[in-house]
Amino acid sequence: MPERPKSRETGREIGREFGLPTLLPLSEHTVPARRVIFRQRDVHESVPFICSGWAATAVTLSDGSRQILSFLLPGDMVSASLLFGSTAHCSVEAVTDVHYCCFDRDDLKASLLSGPDLIEKLSRIWLERKLRAVELAVDLGRRTADERIARLILGLRDRLAARGMTQGQTMDFPLRQHHVGDATGLTAVHVSKVLSEFRRRGLIEINDRSLTILNPGEFQRVATMR
Q: Which chain residues interact with a second copy by CB under 8 A?
A: 59, 61-63, 65-67, 69, 80-81, 83-85, 89-90, 113, 119-120, 123-124, 126-127, 130-131, 133-134, 136-138, 140-142, 184-185, 226
- Give the one residue of 104, 107, 146, 172 binding DNA; rule: CB under 7 A: 146
DSSP state of 83: G
DSSP characters over 100-166: EEEEEHHHHHHHHHHSHHHHHHHHHHHHHHHHHHHHHHHHHHH--HHHHHHHHHHHHHHHHHHTT-E
The distance of closest approach from Cβ of residue 86 to a second copy in the complex, given in angstroms and rounded to an integer, is 11
Partner from DNA, a second copy, none binding residue 2, C-beta < 5-8 Å depending on class? DNA
d(CA 54, CA 65) in angstroms, rounded, equals 21
d(CA 197, CA 205) in angstroms, rounded, equals 11
The distance of closest approach from Cβ of residue 23 to a second copy in the complex, given in angstroms and rounded to an integer, is 20
Q: Quick check: 55 and 95 in contact, CB under 8 A?
A: yes
| Residue placing its CB nearer to DNA in the complex, 187 or 215 | 187
The distance of closest approach from Cβ of residue 99 to a second copy in the complex, given in angstroms and rounded to an integer, is 26
| Residue placing its CB nearer to a second copy in the complex, 99 or 105 | 105
Task: Report the site for DNA in 170-199 (rule: CB under 7 A).
Answer: 176-178, 181, 185-190, 192-193, 195-196
Strands 98-104 and 46-52: antiparallel
At position 166, the amino acid (one-letter code) is T
Q: Which residues contribute to the site for DNA (CB under 7 A)?
A: 2, 34, 144-146, 176-178, 181, 185-190, 192-193, 195-196
